[in-house]
Amino acid sequence: MISGYECGLMNELYGDWTRVALPVKMNNIRSSKVQEVIWFNYSIDETKSGQSNLFNNQIQYQVNYEI
């Protein structure tokens, strides 16, 4: 798993990986809009087993992704 900002080089290097793009936001240091992205080398279907919620023991699914 690798995280970083939207970047053509990263898209080229990890183009065959699954890519999750987070919402665009303002970066106070750069005074511009940025988009954080997570690239991972496993299928999104592998994450559908869910994650336990410690408070009520239910399975939660919250996966948003772009390809």
Tens digits of pLDDT across the chain (67 residues): 899 888 889 989 998 998 888 888 887 776 788 888 999 888 777 666 655 555 555 444 445 555 5
What is the rounded distance in angstroms from the CA atom of residue 32 to the CA atom of residue 26? 6
Q: What is the dihedral of CA 57, 2, 38, 50, to 10 degrees?
A: -20
What is the rounded distance in angstroms from the CA atom of residue 61 to the CA atom of residue 4? 24
Q: What ranges do the domains of the chain cover?
A: 1-43+60-67
What is the reported pTM? Answer: 0.58
